[in-house]
Amino acid sequence: MKNSKLAFSACLLLILTVLNPNLAVAAGAAKLVSSTPAANSSISSAPSVATITFSSSIGDVGNSVSVTAPNGERVDDGSLQIADTQILIGLKPLTVSGEYTVDYEVDTTEGETFSGQYKFSFVAPAALESPKPEDIETPTPDLNKETKSSRATDFFMIGLLVLSILVLVLISRSLRKPKKKKRKK
């Protein structure tokens, strides 16, 4: 009985350690958990931020993330935001198709330093030609044109006004003080 409880406890601890990333951090196995855009993914719409999630809380200082376009130009705007285990970097609009590289070096609150990189592919949409202002026709409404619906609305409103006056007259007549009649003895 004692051995089965011990075996059950050991299995439960093992399962919790595997499933709970916070326990894995305590064991020194902190790592990159996920990223957006995902590593080795191909995207067709340009993101405005890149997000990297780690299995450990990130410290407030000593962190750097850069995103580089296929032509070697940096496309991050340099704005880092840290939210517990996530770090976000703002991106400039992506315009070049190809493989982008995200380089990171972050310090955790436990004093560990993570550094590495991952890549994702971006397929820029075909250039769309926007219409010139002179090509766009703007319809101008004819304000003098009378429609059937406006005439019907007029008749409805007049009828409603007459009905409300009639109801007002009937209510005022019913609220008059009745004359007192003398009682016969």
Cα 58 to Cα 117: distance, rounded to the nearest angstrom: 17
> Per-residue pLDDT tens for 150-161?
677 888 899 999
- Output DSSP code: residue 136: -
Asked, for residue 69, whether it belongs to a domain, the answer is yes
Q: What is the pLDDT of residue 26?
A: 45
| CATH of residue 43 | 2.60.40.1220
62: left (phi over 0), alpha (psi -120 to 50) or beta: left
Q: Which residue from 17, 21, 39, 20 is spatially nearest to 30, judged by alpha carbons? A: 21
CB 86 within 8 A of CB 56: no
pTM value > 0.75:
no
- For residue 12, tell me if it sits in a domain: no
Asked if the structure places residue 104 within a domain, the reply is yes
103 - beta bridge partners? 66, 117
Let me know if residue 154 belongs to a domain: no
Looking at the domain assignment, is residue 160 inside a domain?
A: no
Using the predicted structure, report yes or no on whether residue 134 has a pLDDT greater than 80: no
Task: Label residue 66 by pLDDT band (50, 70, 90).
Answer: very high
- Of 77, 79, 99, residue with least CA distance to 88: 79
Residue 116's nearest CA partner among 105, 101, 100, 129 is 105
Residue holding tokens 């319809």? 139
Number of domains within the chain: 1
Confirm whether 59 is domain-assigned: yes
The pLDDT assigned to 120 comes to 93
Residue 8 lies in a domain: no
Contact between 87 and 107 under an 8 Å Cβ cutoff? The reply is no
- Would 35 be classed as within a structural domain? yes
Q: Which domain holds residue 95?
A: 30-122
Task: Detail the DSSP E strand segments found in 37-97.
Answer: 42-43, 49-54, 64-68, 76-83, 86-91
Whole-number Å distance between alpha carbons of 155 and 161? 10
> Lowest mean pLDDT: which of 93-97, 154-158, 176-180?
176-180
Instruction: Provide the mean pLDDT of the chain.
Output: 78
